Amino acid sequence: MSSILRPFRHATAAVLVLAGILALGPAAPPAAARGMTPADVARIEYVDSVAVSPDGTHIAYAKLVPRRPMVDEDGPAWHELHVLAKDGTSMPFVTGQVTVQDISWTPDGRQVVFRSKRGSDEETGLWAIPVDGGEARRLLSHDTSIAAYSLSPDGGRVAFLAEEPVPEGVEEQEKQGFTQEVFEEDWRDTKVWVAGLGDGAGEARRLDLLGTASAVRWAPAGNRLAVVLQPTPAVDDEYMKSKLHVVDADTGKDLVQIANPGKLGEVRWSPDGKRLAMLSAADLNDPSAGRLAVADAATGALTFLLPELEGDVVSFEWADAGSVLAVVAQGARHGIWRVGVDGAADILIEPGVACWEDLSLSADASTVVARGDAASHPPELFRVAGDSVERMTSSNPWIADLELAPQELITYQARDGLTIEGVLIRPLGAETGKRYPLIVDVHGGPEAHNCDGWRTTYSRPGQMAAAQGMAVLAPNYRGSTGRGVAFAKLHQGDPAGKEFDDLVDGVDHLIAAGLVDAARVGITGGSYGGFATAWGATYYSERYAAAVMFVGISNHISKAFNTDIANEMYLVHQRKRVWEDWQFFLERSPIYYARQAKTPLLILHGDSDPRVNPEQSLEMFRAIKLAGDTPVRFVSYPGEGHGNRRAAARFDYSLRMMRWFE
């Protein structure tokens, strides 16, 4: 086991350990091939988003560059802008201590447009930089930060989203100490604004639309906007009450309302402006906006294109007026399909090449680019040509100097006969016939899935654990996405029931296969995966020797009243309210089984988490502490929310997680 991961008890010791690791110099070449460490994970860069120019000659991409713990000023990762020419040469455009968001191109393809807060800016504005050289210039600033934008077809105007400004007089009152907040009443709506670009453009004009906006798209011709609206800025409303509208950009008149059912994802205009394609839930109780649908932009009539698909559409872009290219998840693997508006589909890139996410197409669809990751690398930029792909970037060449453990996709039978998929990473250097420790890495949601790609992050043990002689299983238990609506609903009304039995059944499968030592099995996960971890450490305590719970659920009764997604939990997960069956919710809460907990449990949580209130972790900690002498530790991350964003908090998490399992 690595000496750098020996346990420490106090924060001062933690700082000394971090300093010792960083003093080695993260860029120093290894003396011999070795596995991945938390220090390696802390410096991983990756392609965050992609956008090809209208003529296909250049590809803009944002690269995430993490700050170095204890070297750089602490904070979230930087996002740089790079541009790839057609000859494959990549050029840095906006780099260093910058945050570039929402990259796109002007319609003439001469400039890359992005959102950013630069220099002394107090609010996020809209910027552009010429592709043939020159400095970035501000296109637009606003009283409040620009949250999203869409350029008009001629590039002369922009529609954007921004919060309403603070009412006059409020700032002065706050200076006098009147800083009280009225919960879920003092928020400000996000509105749609339209502004001219260039000299003499005048003031931005707010469109008088009812509710708050979360997305805007300008039609490829004319003055229509596709706008996603919900009643309030509440996350619950954004999840469950978002509706698509076609709006006149000049008058703000609501022309067409499209009755998308349930959750709503990406929205795109067809090139001829006659249709809108979207990712939507199949119905109000569908956990995922993973169904590809097309609406008539004039009437709002909605058609689902692949209603029988036992999979999920992850993202898409229009290829022409009659078809889209779509990333389709089928289980733990992604393919790229062409789907016609008549529902006919052809597979262009077979599943298993990479875990695809973003797609971007040139105006004539002759150039197609995508972002993808694989077992051997984090997300990179790819060019898609016919039925083949070409990797265009290498953000972490040093990974080639490491020895990565083998990874594979497995299937096993749950106790009721259902087939479950999982991604298995074997221990580095594993020997046939020898049994090894195992970590069950449970994804959140549960409306998400583990793709058979890069599975190592600050909170997911992946190659870090494999390098320490542990196997890692990332199962796609019932309720996961990627296998269609019916599979995604199998967990509903049964929290911690068969869904978490699936995890234990995966462990038993690997024990029976001779790989895993039954006495050395751990479990970890965040959010819903944290709920699974708490359940494993209590109800299933005899099965797990260690557990690391991150922003997880421990008490469904209190969770129902202190989360910002109470209606989402009811509609797509629990399917009944707490007061309908108090005992049921109690018995599906990990704290109910605290007295039988024997699994050492490490609990980690951001103290500003609105999704899973930190109280959930405190309740779990206190219940186990009071119930007996089982080792339990609660680590709180100040200022972090539903997941850690800052470099130091992420690195600290990786170290604590790996030490606990060792």
Give the CA-trace dihedral at 106, 112, 114, 118, to 10 degrees.
-130
Name the nearest CA neighbour of 191 among 235, 222, 247, 229.
229
Say if residue 641 is exposed, middle or buried (CB neighbours under 10 Å; 0-12, 13-18, 19+).
Answer: middle
Mean pLDDT per 10-residue section of the chain, whose length is 662 residues? 38 44 40 86 98 97 97 97 92 96 97 94 96 93 96 96 90 88 90 89 90 98 96 96 98 96 97 98 98 98 96 98 98 97 96 95 96 98 93 97 98 98 98 97 97 98 98 98 98 97 98 98 98 98 98 97 95 96 98 98 97 97 97 98 98 98 98
Helical H runs in 290-340? none
- CA–CA gap between residue 63 and residue 395 (Å, rounded): 8
- Dihedral of CA atoms 139, 142, 144, 150 in degrees, nearest 10, equals -50
Give pLDDT, residue 497. 97
Residue-level pLDDT at 3: 35
User: In the structure, how many helices (H) and strands (E) does the chain have?
Assistant: 13, 36
Q: What is the pLDDT of residue 20?
A: 41
> Structure pTM?
0.93
**What does each C-alpha distance from 131 to 368, 400, 635 come to in angstroms?**
19, 32, 47
Q: Are 503 and 544 in contact (CB under 8 A)?
A: no
According to the model, what pLDDT value does residue 12 have?
41
Distance CA 79, CA 101 (A): 7
pLDDT of residue 24: 36
Helix (H) or strand (E) holding 659: helix 647-661
Closest CA to 481 of 528, 439, 524, 523: 528
Assess contact for 456 and 489: CB atoms under 8 A: no
